[in-house]
Amino acid sequence: MTQSAHDIVADYAREGLALRERFFTSNAEAIAALGLNIAVCLAKGGKILLCGNGGSAADAQHLAAEFVNRFQIERPPLPAIALTTDSSILTAIGNDSSFDEVFVKQVKALGRPGDVLLGISTSGKSANVNAALAAAREGQLGTVGLAGKDGGAMADLCDTLLVVDHDSTPLIQEVQIAVGHMVCRLVDYYLFEAVVELQPYLE
């Protein structure tokens, strides 16, 4: 029998709520550690590079904007670059080399040791994201992955990997942007509210 529109809404909301509950209950410590890790990178003068495809490209841009502009408190701008935004770079690399290379070359051009690359994918199988993570590791950047499903190939490429254990791409994405927002909140906390807590990690 065909589902009603009401049932589609109710089922989607119920599944998303259950996933959030499961994921954040079992990953709270890892998310707190990730927030600290990103705060330490920024406090030491590093920057955050972000990449992903489709909805994850939007998430990369969304999160870069939170760092550069502000999140919930007024504070100095923080350095973050989404590698998904420059259409000249993306089309030149995609056209001359391959779409798999669109992020790698930017990591090599812009990344410095001590920076962090945050790769976002729901499948863990996006070749351009995984190539960027491999190049970041090679260049001594920290590598962080937000993945879904079974994590794909990202596990072997990331210092920190958070896997949203579900098969639905949009539900995974909704959890991933919440993780990103929590990291922004934690960065504000460590850099501007609880500076003494950060101090031991800077020595």
Pairwise CA distance, residues 33 & 183, whole Å? 9
Q: Which one among 37, 122, 143, 176 touches ligand I22, defined by CB under 6 A? A: 122
79 vs 160, beta carbon nearer ligand I22: 160
111 vs 152, beta carbon nearer Zn ion: 152
Is residue 169 involved in binding ligand I22 (CB under 6 A)? yes
Sorted by sequence, the CB contacts under 8 Å of residue 138 that are 6+ apart come out as: none
32 vs 178, beta carbon nearer ligand I22: 178
Pairwise CA distance, residues 126 & 128, whole Å? 6
Q: Is 95 annotated as a binding residue?
A: yes
Site string for ligand I22, 36-75 (x = CB under 6 A): -----------------xxxx-------------------
Reported as type and span, the H/E element at residue 148 is strand 142-148
Q: Is 126 annotated as a binding residue?
A: yes
176 binds, among ligand I22, Zn ion, none (CB under 5 to 8 A by kind): none
CB of 36 to ligand I22, least distance (A): 26
Q: Which two tokens stand for residue 132?
A: 């960027």
181 vs 185, beta carbon nearer Zn ion: 181
**Burial annotation 81-101 (CB, 10 A radius, 16+ → b, else e):** bbbbeeeebbeebeeeeeebb
122 binds, among ligand I22, Zn ion, none (CB under 5 to 8 A by kind): ligand I22
Cβ pair 121, 145 in contact under 8 A: yes
Pairing of strands 48-52, 116-120: parallel
Window contacting ligand I22 (CB under 6 A); options: 15-23, 80-88, 123-131, 136-144: 123-131
CB of 2 to ligand I22, least distance (A): 23
Burial, 118: exposed, middle or buried (Cβ in 10 Å; 0-12, 13-18, 19+)? buried
What are the binding residues for Zn(2+)? 62, 66, 173, 181
What are the binding residues for substrate? 53-55, 66, 95-96, 121-123, 126, 173
